Amino acid sequence: MAALSDYKEGTPLPEIRKNITQEHINLYAKASRDFNPIHLDAEFARTTPAGGTIAHGMLVLAYISEMMTAAFGESWLTGGKLNVRFRAPARPGDTITASGQVRRVELGEGLRVVTCEVLCRNQNDEPVITGDATVAVRT
């Protein structure tokens, strides 16, 4: 984790890269208790517009949270906020990269509020999730 003073407008966030597997999706289904067949049943999923199983959106979103934790530590865990849009599904076999950069830093009384542009993209550089994240860090 870089020092907070190192995060200025335009500073890139540490990238997180993950390979999506059906096993990861199955484990997430058990943990979240979301057993929708679009995530688990390949035969059913092939008959849908998705054309096959897809990862849970929140599984992929967790990669952004992992990236923000790597950048801002406990400040992210105790008070980070996300505003995102899900753009495309992630599928087994995809490699997802979470990345971002600092868009704005505002100083307040005893706080530094950092707003970041965040993105998850697949191996074809297609956006899967876009949005921003805000974290307030005590100075």
CATH annotation of 4-138: 3.10.129.10
Confidence of residue 7 (pLDDT cuts 50, 70, 90): confident
DSSP letter string, 88-136: S---TT-EEEEEEEEEEEEEETTEEEEEEEEEEE-TTS-EEEEEEEEEE
Please enumerate in sequence order all residues whose Cβ is within 8 A of that of 138, keeping only pairs 6 or more positions apart, or say none.
75, 110, 111
Tell me: the pLDDT tens digits for 77-128? 998 999 999 999 999 999 999 999 999 999 888 889 999 999 999 999 999 9
Q: What is the DSSP letter of 56?
A: -
Smallest CA-to-CA distance from 64 within 137, 136, 134 is with: 134
**Least trusted range by pLDDT, from 1-5, 99-103, 126-130, 132-136:** 1-5
Compute the distance between CA of residue 87 and CA of residue 108 in angstroms, rounded to an integer.
33
Q: Where are the domains of the chain?
A: 4-138
DSSP β-ladder status, 81-86 and 127-138? antiparallel
Confidence of residue 5 (pLDDT cuts 50, 70, 90): low
**In terms of pTM, does the model score above 0.85?**
yes
Task: Return the exposure string of 32-56: e unless at least 16 CB atoms fall within 10 Å of the residue's CB, then b.
Answer: eeeeeebbbeeeebeeeeeebbbbb
